[in-house]
Structure 1
Amino acid sequence: MSLELSVVMPCLNEAETLAVCIKKAKGFFAKYDINGEVVIADNGSTDGSQDIAKSLNARVIHVEAKGYGNALKGGIEEARGTYVIMGDADDSYDFENLQAYVDKLREGYDLVMGNRFKGGIKKGAMPFLHKYLGNPVLSFLGRLFFKINIGDFHCGLRGFKKEAFYKMNLQTTGMEFASEMIVKSKLNNLSIAEVPTILSPDGRTRPPHLNTWRDGWRHLRFLLLYSPNWLFLIPGLILLIFGFLGSALLIIQPVELNTITLDVHTLLYTATSIIIGFQFVLFYGLTKIYAVENNLLPKSNRYQKLFKFLNLEKGLIIGGLFVILGIVLTVISVSLWQATNFSNLEPTKLLRYVIPAIISLQLGTQIVLFSLFFSILGLKNAS
């Protein structure tokens, strides 16, 4: 008979709580007549956790590569069930109450997330910073960046189809594995459901493996790197709009703000904003290509259209026009200087030509170079 459910628990010195977690999971199988197994993904325990698991007839998978994500991937890959439910072996999650997850999986959902904020967080179960800052902020950013209607991105108890796990193509090895699973499910158009889950205090006497600031940063870094729109494109567009509007006003004439006069010195900053913003946009394009071509992000129709719309010829033409504009403005600047027999000029007048000339030359050169590099990256797409 084929197994319906595998309960996978990552394990690193969990001798204090491992037995109770395994017994609860097996009790759940018996209570609901589910053909299941318990898989312990051991990540190098030295406290006898492996012997405890074997004595309770749980399968022990030895995972040499260190890290929360590595341990889970090793256990999930060896799981034999159609469905997999993963959860920490610290007795903070109740493995006797998994039916809500199984019901959603049977309904056809690819990923079923627990929500501790809806189910209830018992006193002392979650540190203050995690409860009121870390989890809410990171979950909000996840919803904002990826348009995922999930209230608790970091709940450690979650279920998924085994076939869906391979579609996710998860790459991370640490605690950010939890965020990647949700993001990759969304990016691959997998169906996601959420069920209330109760979080109890950690049953161990030793400190948890989770490091508040280090692992929080790893989650935030992952969300940013997997969302080049928010990391590069949106900040770049804001800088470009601010730079172009500010420069356009200051090139015409100084801007008076009550007793303050904004002149060519401010123009230098607005012009620099254009360059920095354009760099952000270029990095967005390069990051997107790298992520897609290295299977970090799935290909989309918009991505395919990008290569059809942007090509070497268009880039060379646009870049060339900017270079020509820069040269023309440079010639005008030199002509103004020549008209005074190359004597001293009023800086505020000449810089209104010189600064746009320099910016045009820089933009033109960057567009040409980016177009060349972009066309090299797109060779595989064009073939």
Structure 2
Amino acid sequence: MASLSQKWHFTIGSQTYPVVKSFLPQHVFIVFSVPIVLSRDNSVDYTILIPVLNEREGLEKTLDEIISLGYDRGRIIVVDGGSTDGTPDVAKRYGVRVVKQDGRGKADAVKTGLKYVGGDVVVLMDGDYTYPAQAIRSLLDKISEGHDLVVGARRYVEKGAQSLPYRFGNWFLTKLFNIFYGVKLSDALSGMYAVRRSVLSEVDFEFKGFSVEAEILSHALSTGYNVAEVPIKYRRRVGEKKLKIRNGFSILASMVMLTWRYNPTFTLLLLGALTLLPGLYFDLYVVVKYLLTGAIHHVRALMGAIFTTTGVVSLALAISVFYLKRMEIRLMRRISQACSHCPP
């Protein structure tokens, strides 16, 4: 008699065992007397990429959690940026692949790891135990729905995981990112996301350090790829924090430069719109002086008119270019979706 089967795993402690669940005319129930965690094999061909630098304690907990959920060790790549605390030894002890990073910084770590990725989808996460391995399944499921990049949005932040300055900085940069690219993301700078290898291979990795997430996301959005996000938890990191407040200003500068790269006309017009500020200042000065003393400052009035007019026109044109860019992205996305259904 024919039967349909589906591959599952059950996990007891740190050990994972494969089982086959068969759908027969009869109902069969198997009862385990111990707590188990079921994880279904996903059809997505993926690789888990973990950039690290002196993350011995955090990486141990991260790998233990990933493997305990039934993920194949052969699909995990740890990119080491020159650790001196024995981090590579931890990875080797767990039987995962360790590669030495070319260059310095997180961007170079991702670029190096991409050379060794074998799957169609890359799941990137930090090795400091801040991101839960349970979220990997949600990211892959979203990718399998047809998305090209899925961000793990940090909605549930553990107490003490992010101080107020970091929360504000992340909120501000995300809002600015949404304005630049016309999206409604809740966490544009999350360090955990899944992205198709074909998309990642197009990124230039021009910006170093912690700006790599912004660069990957900017490229995906500007070239019409489907981007989504899923809510995840965010825990207190294990070990010393590497992201400093000054890195936030570096990310801000990178975002402006990325906007210039992908939409230079909008950036120029937006800069031109800033002339509204001196224009309004001169206008207000002339009006107040006239009301208080009756004097008319012709030069300041002329400067105010020029600056204000330039600012208003630039702002109007910037808004027009912004919506034209959004229309272009939608058209590119529709064309991409249509081509994906075309016969070879």
1:221 — aligned with what? 253
CA contact (8 A) 2:73 2:95 kept: no
Question: Greater share of helix residues, 1 or 2?
Answer: 1
The Cα of 1:259 is off from its aligned counterpart by: 2.8
Change (3 A) 1:227 1:266: same
1:48 — aligned with what? 86
* Residue 100 of structure 2, aligned match among 62, 67, 78: 62
* Residue 209 of structure 2, aligned match among 153, 174, 181: 174
Identical positions, percent = 25
* Residue 242 of structure 2, aligned match among 209, 225, 230: 209
Q: CA offsets, 1:9-67, max 9 Å, x none?
A: 1110111121221122223344xxx6961111111111111121112111111113111
Aligned residue identity for 1:227: T
Compute the TM-score of the two structures, normalised by the length of structure 1.
Answer: 0.62
2:64 — aligned with what? 23
Compute the TM-score of the two structures, normalised by the length of structure 2.
Answer: 0.69
* SS in structure 1 of the partner of residue 160 of structure 2: coil
Bigger Cα Rg: 1
Task: Return the alpha-carbon distance in structure 2 between the equivalents of residues 94 and 203 of structure 1.
Answer: 13
Task: Return the alpha-carbon distance in structure 1 between the equivalents of residues 196 and 271 of structure 2.
Answer: 37
Task: Return the alpha-carbon distance in structure 2 between the equivalents of residues 235 and 161 of structure 1.
Answer: 34
* SS in structure 1 of the partner of residue 83 of structure 2: coil
Aligned residue identity for 2:161: A
* Residue 103 of structure 1, aligned match among 136, 141, 156: 141
Task: Return the alpha-carbon distance in structure 2 between the equivalents of residues 189 and 100 of structure 1.
Answer: 22
* Residue 162 of structure 2, aligned match among 126, 134, 144: 126
Aligned residue identity for 1:211: K
Aligned residue identity for 1:178: E
Aligned residue identity for 1:14: E
* Residue 263 of structure 1, aligned match among 288, 292, 297: 297
What are structure 2's unaligned runs of at least 5 residues?
1-42, 319-324, 330-344
The Cα of 1:181 is off from its aligned counterpart by: 1.3
Q: CA offsets, 1:229-275, max 9 Å, x none?
A: 5653124145379869x89xx9xxxx944535332331464488489
What are structure 1's unaligned runs of at least 5 residues?
285-296, 302-383
Q: CA offsets, 1:173-220, max 9 Å, x none?
A: 21111111111110011101110110011122xx211111x2100111
Task: Return the alpha-carbon distance in structure 2 between the equivalents of residues 226 and 165 of structure 1.
Answer: 16
Aligned residue identity for 2:238: G
CA contact (8 A) 1:4 1:82 kept: yes
CA contact (8 A) 2:74 2:96 kept: no
* Residue 233 of structure 1, aligned match among 269, 274, 294: 269
Task: Return the alpha-carbon distance in structure 2 between the equivalents of residues 260 and 35 of structure 1.
Answer: 81
* SS in structure 1 of the partner of residue 207 of structure 2: coil
Task: Return the alpha-carbon distance in structure 2 between the equivalents of residues 97 and 271 of structure 1.
Answer: 55
Question: Greater share of strand residues, 1 or 2?
Answer: 2
1:4 — aligned with what? 45
Pairwise mapping of residues 1-383 of structure 1 onto structure 2 (< 5 A)?
4-30=45-71, 37-117=75-155, 120-131=156-167, 133-204=168-239, 207-212=240-245, 214-228=246-260, 231-237=267-273, 239=275, 256-267=290-301, 269-270=303-304, 273=307
Aligned residue identity for 1:199: Y
Give the stretch that moved more between structures: 140-149 or 263-272: 263-272
Aligned residue identity for 2:300: T
CA RMSD after TM alignment: 3.4
Aligned residues: 269
Task: Return the alpha-carbon distance in structure 2 between the equivalents of residues 233 and 262 of structure 1.
Answer: 31
Change (3 A) 1:76 1:29: farther
Change (3 A) 1:134 1:38: same
CA contact (8 A) 1:143 1:149 kept: yes
Aligned residue identity for 2:66: A
Give the stretch that moved more between structures: 229-238 or 66-75: 229-238
Change (3 A) 1:193 1:240: closer
* SS in structure 1 of the partner of residue 49 of structure 2: strand
The Cα of 1:165 is off from its aligned counterpart by: 0.9
Task: Return the alpha-carbon distance in structure 2 between the equivalents of residues 183 and 108 of structure 1.
Answer: 19
The Cα of 1:78 is off from its aligned counterpart by: 1.6
